[in-house]
């Protein structure tokens, strides 16, 4: 009994210490850490040499960033990698993977994807998750100082393992930014806001619906059922976007520049 009481006292002491040590994190701190992680990713990733795709990604990113109205330190890179993926860190640091480009087929579909990812940043979804992760880390793993080995063991996705292998701040971000999936509510609100961003940027918002047909075809039926996924199903997302389309089309009608579907991705 004495041993059990001693263990209980030690655990209580540790929890109190963890609560006391939990960091007070603000947005500027997170954006600064994101910028450091992004710098590591840029220097250690294979950047695409496809000039046409790079130019397209840059102009779409510029237009979506402007449409968002956020005063972030925006930046984008095109990473030469087969992943069908794109992301936007807290503070506006973005990346698109070459693997997604053939799936998208149009510049307008790229605008839909980037609008969605930018919306996660402007709605502070990643920032909120990162704050929770930083605070929780003091009761377990020090995520901000994650080691390469620790990251490799804890990561569940190949993308997370790649970031973790870079070491430094990127390893910490691998565990907090990549592994803490957005909730269904976050995904839905980012879909809605992203559709508005693409319309405001001058891209036909109807392309956001077609995008999910292409994404579903690219998965070849490999996606898990919606009820066991944190993400809404592709069909649910398409239905939601269709319901929001009148509002987005109204925004598109008022956009001073109209690019329609933009260029075709070859």
Q: Which residues are catalytic?
A: 117
- Parallel, antiparallel, or unpaired for β 86-88 and 93-97? antiparallel
Rg over CA atoms, the chain: 20
Per-residue tokens: 168: 């430094």
- Look at residues 245, 179, 260 and name the one whose alpha carbon lies nearest to residue 212: 245
Q: What phi and psi, each to the nearest 5 degrees, are found at residue 104? A: -70, -45
CA angle 190, 144, 11 (to 5 degrees): 110
DSSP single-letter state for residue 76: E
- Phi–psi pair at 60, nearest 5 degrees: -65, -45
């Amino acid at each position: 009994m004495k041993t059990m009481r001693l263990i209980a006292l030690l655990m209580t002491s540790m929890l109190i210490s963890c609560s006391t040590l939990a960091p007070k994190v603000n947005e500027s701190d997170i954006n600064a850490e994101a910028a450091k992680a992004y710098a590591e990713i840029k220097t250690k990733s294979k950047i695409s040499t496809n000039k046409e795709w790079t130019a397209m990604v840059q102009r779409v990113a510029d237009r979506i960033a402007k449409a968002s109205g956020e005063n972030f330190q925006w930046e984008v890179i095109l990473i030469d990698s087969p992943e069908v993926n794109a992301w936007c860190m807290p503070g506006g640091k973005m990346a698109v993977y070459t693997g997604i480009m053939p799936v998208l087929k149009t510049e307008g579909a790229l605008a839909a994807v980037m609008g969605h990812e930018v919306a996660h940043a402007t709605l502070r979804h990643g920032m909120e998750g990162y704050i929770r992760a930083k605070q929780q880390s003091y009761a377990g793993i020090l995520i901000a100082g994650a080691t390469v080995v620790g990251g490799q063991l804890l990561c569940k996705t190949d993308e997370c393992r790649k970031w973790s292998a870079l070491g430094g701040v990127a390893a910490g971000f691998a565990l907090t930014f990549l592994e803490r999936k957005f909730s269904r509510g976050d995904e839905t609100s980012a879909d809605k806001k992203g559709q508005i961003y693409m319309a405001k940027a001058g891209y036909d918002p109807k392309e956001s619906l077609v995008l999910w047909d292409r994404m579903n075809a690219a998965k070849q039926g490999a996606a898990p059922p919606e009820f066991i996924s944190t993400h809404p199903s592709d069909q649910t997302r398409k239905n939601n976007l269709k319901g929001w389309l009148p509002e987005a089309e109204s925004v598109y009608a008022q956009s001073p520049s109209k690019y329609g579907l933009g260029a075709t991705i070859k």
